[in-house]
């Protein structure tokens, strides 16, 4: 367990304003750039958060000793320099800052496109060499030409908007682009093959995935118009660089402009760098003062929210929560984790199945992240590894735990109700809870007994025969051992039947006290519950 202030390592340069956000939150910030993989691996052992840009490569090996690390924040959008699987397995949240460099990268794309078709870099180099070669640099107008955009995320969409201002016809391919979204943005949705055959200029705005690697290669270039222009300010590897070099030499591609390469920096003898119709920049698409300040402020705010308040935004290895739902989801997440922790501790046998039921208002929320919080609560008391929202689903799967969600919009006695059922070899344990006044929560049913329980960090879960004297005995024994009761909450099925008590305690009693209570013949079961999420 780490002690002292939260420690942040910044391994790539970010603006001073971003660093100040960490410092103002009381965090300790260390800036160490250009670390070797071995140096980074050694450093990470003593930090809670890591801030990176594109320069730092966070591999599985680098994370091997990062036992304290809780979050990696990428000041930018791309995450191909982070091993997401390794981070997820270790329960490390990986977050980025989508949108912080949208305008900057889109403007750079359009600048590259215009420089490429008008041969501005080549003409500038010629002038600097003392030449005046007006006839050599014949260009092409963009007005009324067809621009094909591969990927209509934030950057691709802004490129489309700017291109329309240049009077270009815009066609786009994106597997998630609906006709309604395309119409709203004024673009024509087309198939991938149609984009290749129709476009005068093609610009890439996709992440690098197994599906997009070599998306533009010899076979697809052959489908394009002769004299097509290609721009890549997204990710190296989406365009096969050797195939493009051959197409530039043959004239099939009239020009290309890259801000990114498969290997950065590219080798001096890279074939593209030897071709006059190819222009490039050193991965500076997001390199404006405005963008760097935006992403630095955003990543610092997001990391402070998580490390100080447990709020997760823009995580790449967690389900996303729409900003407008975050305020309503957070209380249910907390409730789900507390309920899961209680359920796990009162179950007498290993749990094989968890059913998560959402009713009323709760069913209208993004439920997957709430289910993950329930899993975190269930698994934390029984595992000796760190469990959080990131690795809880993976740990549940490894243990063969079946997880089932169900929803009902019907309201019963509560506006919104969350119910967990844990199936074991000898039966099903049940717990239900609800939110009151938008943020407070109560346990309203436990093992089919109606209750109204405000959970405490330390509690006794007592079931007994509903007869006089049991609760008094418990209170007397606890008091005689210096254990103060914060509150006592009760439920029963019927007079003289089975009774349930949830007893909040200020301190944890010794096991000898627990055993003394258990000796009473009227006590059916007694369990000491610890709720870590309430101890924060």
pLDDT value of position 492:
84
Identify the band that residue 3 occupies on the pLDDT scale cut at 50, 70 and 90: low
Q: Which two tokens stand for residue 74?
A: 């990428």
How far is C-alpha 514 from the geometric centre of its chain's CA atoms?
A: 42
Backbone angles phi, psi at 75, to 5 degrees: -80, 80
Determine whether 202 is exposed, middle or buried from the number of CB atoms within 10 Å of its CB (0-12, 13-18, 19+). buried
Whether the per-residue pLDDT at 340 is higher than 60: the answer is yes
**What's the rounded mean pLDDT across residues 373-387?**
86
pLDDT tens-digit readout, 359-379: 998 999 989 999 999 999 999
Residue of 235 and 438 predicted with greater confidence = 235
Residue of 122 and 410 predicted with greater confidence = 122
- CATH class of the domain comprising 456-531: alpha beta
Q: Which two tokens stand for residue 162?
A: 């700017």
Computed over every residue of the chain, the mean pLDDT equals: 91
pLDDT value of position 315:
86
- Is 241 known to be catalytic? no
Under 8 Å between Cβ of 455 and 534: yes
Element (H, E) at 530: strand 523-530
Whether the per-residue pLDDT at 496 is higher than 90: the answer is no
Q: Which two tokens stand for residue 464?
A: 């007994």
Whether the per-residue pLDDT at 504 is higher than 70: the answer is yes
Largest CA-CA distance found in the chain, in angstroms, rounded: 105
Contacts of 432-438 with CB under 8 Å at 24 or more apart are 432/339, 433/335, 433/338, 433/339, 434/335, 435/331, 435/332, 435/335, 435/361, 438/328, 438/331
CA–CA separation, 133 vs 149, rounded Å? 33
**Looking at the domain that runs over 324-455, which CATH code has it been given?**
3.30.1330.90
Which among 283, 430, 442, 530 is annotated as catalytic?
283
Query: How much is the pTM?
Result: 0.63
pLDDT value of position 460:
93
Radius of gyration of the chain (CA): 30
Question: Residue 298 to residues 111, 293, 313, 325, 327: CA-CA distances in angstroms?
Answer: 26, 8, 10, 19, 19
Q: What angle do CA 205, 91, 454 make, to 5 degrees?
A: 115
Under 8 Å between Cβ of 160 and 186: yes
Residue 175 CB neighbour total at 10 angstroms = 9
Residues 6+ apart with CB under 8 A from 72: 49, 50, 52, 58, 82, 87, 92, 93, 94, 95
Identify the band that residue 22 occupies on the pLDDT scale cut at 50, 70 and 90: very high
- Is 193 known to be catalytic? no
Q: Find which of 207-216, 276-285, 456-465 is predicted with most confidence, using mean pLDDT.
A: 276-285
pLDDT tens-digit readout, 107-143: 999 999 999 999 999 999 999 999 999 889 999 999 9
pLDDT value of position 536:
59
CA–CA separation, 76 vs 96, rounded Å? 6
Strand partners of residue 315: 95
Element (H, E) at 280: strand 278-280
pLDDT value of position 173:
94
Identify the band that residue 224 occupies on the pLDDT scale cut at 50, 70 and 90: very high
Strands (E) across 347-492 are located at: 351-360, 402-408, 416-424, 427-436, 440-446, 449-453, 458-465, 485-492
Under 8 Å between Cβ of 71 and 93: yes
Whether the per-residue pLDDT at 284 is higher than 50: the answer is yes
pLDDT tens-digit readout, 25-83: 999 999 999 999 999 999 999 999 999 998 899 999 999 989 899 999 999 877 888 99
| Domain 324-455 in the same topology as domain 7-100+290-309 | no
**What's the rounded mean pLDDT across residues 431-444?**
89
How do strand 440-446 and strand 449-453 relate by DSSP bridges? Answer: antiparallel
Under 8 Å between Cβ of 14 and 296: yes
CATH superfamily of 102-280: NAD(P)-binding Rossmann-like Domain (3.40.50.720)
Q: Which two tokens stand for residue 245?
A: 């070099």
- Is 283 known to be catalytic? yes
Whether the per-residue pLDDT at 261 is higher than 80: the answer is yes
Q: What are the domain boundaries of the chain?
A: 7-100+290-309, 102-280, 324-455, 456-531
CA–CA separation, 173 vs 149, rounded Å? 6
Identify the band that residue 2 occupies on the pLDDT scale cut at 50, 70 and 90: low
CATH superfamily of 7-100+290-309: NAD(P)-binding Rossmann-like Domain (3.40.50.720)
CA–CA separation, 101 vs 295, rounded Å? 7
Under 8 Å between Cβ of 378 and 422: yes
Which among 235, 270, 328, 492 is annotated as catalytic?
235
Identify the band that residue 1 occupies on the pLDDT scale cut at 50, 70 and 90: very low
Q: Which two tokens stand for residue 160?
A: 């489309």
Question: Residue 301 to residues 12, 20, 42, 414: CA-CA distances in angstroms?
Answer: 17, 10, 26, 35
Which among 264, 349, 398, 515 is annotated as catalytic?
264
Element (H, E) at 125: helix 120-128
């Amino acid at each position: 367990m780490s002690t002292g202030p939260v420690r942040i390592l910044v391994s790539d340069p970010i603006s001073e304003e971003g660093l100040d956000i960490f410092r103002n939150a009381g965090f300790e910030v260390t800036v160490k750039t250009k670390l070797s993989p071995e140096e980074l691996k050694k450093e990470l052992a003593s930090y809670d958060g890591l801030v990176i840009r594109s320069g730092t490569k966070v591999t599985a090996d680098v994370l091997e000793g990062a036992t304290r690390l809780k979050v990696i924040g990428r000041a930018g959008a791309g995450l191909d320099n982070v091993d997401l699987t390794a981070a997820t397995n270790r329960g490390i949240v990986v977050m980025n800052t989508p949108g912080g460099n949208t305008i900057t990268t889109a403007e750079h794309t359009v600048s590259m496109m215009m420089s490429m078709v008008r041969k501005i870099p080549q003409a500038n180099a010629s002038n600097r060499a003392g030449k005046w070669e007006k006839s050599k640099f014949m260009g092409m107008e963009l007005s009324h030409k067809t621009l094909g955009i591969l990927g209509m995320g934030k950057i691709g969409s802004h490129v489309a908007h700017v291109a329309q201002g240049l009077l270009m016809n815009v066609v786009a391919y994106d597997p998630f682009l609906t006709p309604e979204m395309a119409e709203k943005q004024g673009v024509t949705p087309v198939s991938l093959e149609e984009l290749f055959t129709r476009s005068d200029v093609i610009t890439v705005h996709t992440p690098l995935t197994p599906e997009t690697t070599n998306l533009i290669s010899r076979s697809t270039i052959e489908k394009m118009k002769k004299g097509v222009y290609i721009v890549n300010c997204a990710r190296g590897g989406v365009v096969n660089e050797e195939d493009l070099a051959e197409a530039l030499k043959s004239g099939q591609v009239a020009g290309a402009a890259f801000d990114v390469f498969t290997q950065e920096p590219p080798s001096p003898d890279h074939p593209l760098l030897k071709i006059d119709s190819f222009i490039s920049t050193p991965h500076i698409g997001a390199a404006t003062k405005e963008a760097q300040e935006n992403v630095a402020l955003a990543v610092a705010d997001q990391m402070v929210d998580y490390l100080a308040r447990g709020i997760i935004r823009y995580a790449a290895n967690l389900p996303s929560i729409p900003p407008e739902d975050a305020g309503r989801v957070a209380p249910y997440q907390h409730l789900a984790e507390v309920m899961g922790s209680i359920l796990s501790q009162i179950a007498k046998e290993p749990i094989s199945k968890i059913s998560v039921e959402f009713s009323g208002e709760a069913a209208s929320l993004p439920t997957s992240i709430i289910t993950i919080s329930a899993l975190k609560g269930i698994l934390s008391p029984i595992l000796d590894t760190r469990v959080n929202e990131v690795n809880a689903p993976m740990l549940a799967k490894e243990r063969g735990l079946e997880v089932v969600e169900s929803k009902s919009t019907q309201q019963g006695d509560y506006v919104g109700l969350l119910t967990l059922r844990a199936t074991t070899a000898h039966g099903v344990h049940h717990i239900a809870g609800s939110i009151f006044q938008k943020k407070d929560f109560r346990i309203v049913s436990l093992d089919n007994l109606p209750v109204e329980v405000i959970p405490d960090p330390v509690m006794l879960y007592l079931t007994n025969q509903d007869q006089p004297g049991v609760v008094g005995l418990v209170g007397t024994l606890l008091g005689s051992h210096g254990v103060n009761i914060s509150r006592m909450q009760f439920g029963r099925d019927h007079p003289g039947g089975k009774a349930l008590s949830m007893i909040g305690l200020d301190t944890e009693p010794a096991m000898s006290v627990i055993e003394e209570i258990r000796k009473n013949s009227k006590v059916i079961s007694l369990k000491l519950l610890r709720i870590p999420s309430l101890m924060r």
